[in-house]
Amino acid sequence: MSVVEIRDLSKIYNNSQIAFDSINLNILNGEIVGIAGPELSGKSTLLSVIARKKKQTSGSIDFADYVNISYFSSDFSLPDNLKVFDFTIMLIAINNVESNSKYNEIISLLKKFELHNYASSKIGDLSFFQKRTIAILGSFINRPNLLVLDEPFKGLNDEEIEKLTIFLKNILHRDMACIISDTKLDNLERIASSIALMFEGAIIHKSDILSYSRIAGRNIIQLSVDGNLSKFEEKLVYLTLQKELTFVRKNSIFTVTFFQSRQLEDCFFLLSDIIKRIGLSVIFMKSISPQVDMQLIDIVQGRLQLGQPHFQSLLKNIDALENSLDIEES
């Protein structure tokens, strides 16, 4: 059962800047969806819209009949002068949580996040990681069935990320859906049941974690070509049928994900050679990866030359594409 169904969701600011465009996403009950993408890819804005903190420009978000949303953002702030226990009491009052055993409920949450020994400590005296866990703990006070976590691992070291992951696994349950974002795929692999890759305001791939393992660490290339786009798309369709890659086309821009373990240069070679053989020219071609900031790749004329042996048979098969696919050329 879907907790959230998102259809053609877009957010455009008054200055015409596009935060994200035409997002389609389902979040199921009990599912933990990881959104991976570089900085400024639209992740945070998407999560804030899902959490009803911002309004979309167009498209729809349909929630289940009963949905209780809780939201965390990595730019959180806490009252340093309050004690940890008093802070949780304040959150219970703010969220109008009805409980006959508030004290026991708070202690239980503090224990799950290993904060019970700091209940009488002022928040300002705690470490950055402890403050982060308190802020995330606050997201559970209103007993949500949809938890939205925007970059909860940001600024943490590997040991702290592992510890926070364990905390979350221990408290998330099958009646709670969660959507969680990060710039690093590795962090999301530890906890997510499915992962969506986001780049420049678009979700370019989503699959469950088992299927995702096929592309984890694989190369993703975005490019635009000048010429017969349908001809180029036909070649990519053929490679998709050969389980070499998957791709998404949006207008004249192609985003290509390679399934096989290939060097980045090999991926550029294959695409560049296809473009050359069908008489097109490259407008731009760049490697994109959720683990690192986007890096622009300059394609130097003649740098990638035909002749690498491990692509020869594949290129021969591509030449026979027109005989195997019934697609008209434009």
Per-domain residue ranges for the chain?
2-212, 220-324
Residue matched to tokens 């490697």: 287
- DSSP element (H, E) containing 186: helix 185-189
Which of 102-106, 114-118, 201-205, 223-227 is predicted with the least confidence, judged by mean pLDDT? 102-106
CA 327/CA 152 separation, integer angstroms: 46
pLDDT value at position 11? 94
pLDDT value at position 38? 85
pLDDT band of 245, cuts 50, 70, 90: confident
CA 239/CA 245 separation, integer angstroms: 6
pLDDT value at position 289? 56
Comparison of pLDDT for 12 and 241, the residue scoring more:
12
The stretch 235-239 carries a mean pLDDT of 85
Partners of 258 in beta bridges: 245
pLDDT over 60 (residue 94):
yes
CA 32/CA 147 separation, integer angstroms: 9
Tokens describing residue 46: 């998407």
What are the tens digits of pLDDT across the range 154-167?
999 989 998 898 88
- Write the CA distances from 107 to 120, 126, 228, 285, integer angstroms: 12, 18, 65, 54
Comparison of pLDDT for 296 and 148, the residue scoring more:
148
Which CATH superfamily hosts domain 2-212? P-loop containing nucleotide triphosphate hydrolases (3.40.50.300)
pLDDT over 50 (residue 106):
yes
What CATH number should be reported for the domain whose range is 220-324?
3.30.70
Q: Which of 41, 125, 134, 48 is nearest to 87 (CA)?
A: 134
Residue matched to tokens 């905390």: 167
Q: What is the DSSP letter of 304?
A: S
Strand locations in the chain, DSSP E?
A: 2-12, 18-28, 32-36, 58-63, 69-73, 146-150, 177-182, 194-199, 202-208, 220-226, 245-250, 253-258, 281-288
CA 106/CA 137 separation, integer angstroms: 10
- Write the CA distances from 259 to 74, 88, 214, 232, 243, integer angstroms: 32, 46, 6, 19, 7
Question: Strand, coil or helix: what is 225?
Answer: strand
pLDDT value at position 98? 61
Do 29 and 172 meet the contact criterion of CB atoms below 8 Å apart? no
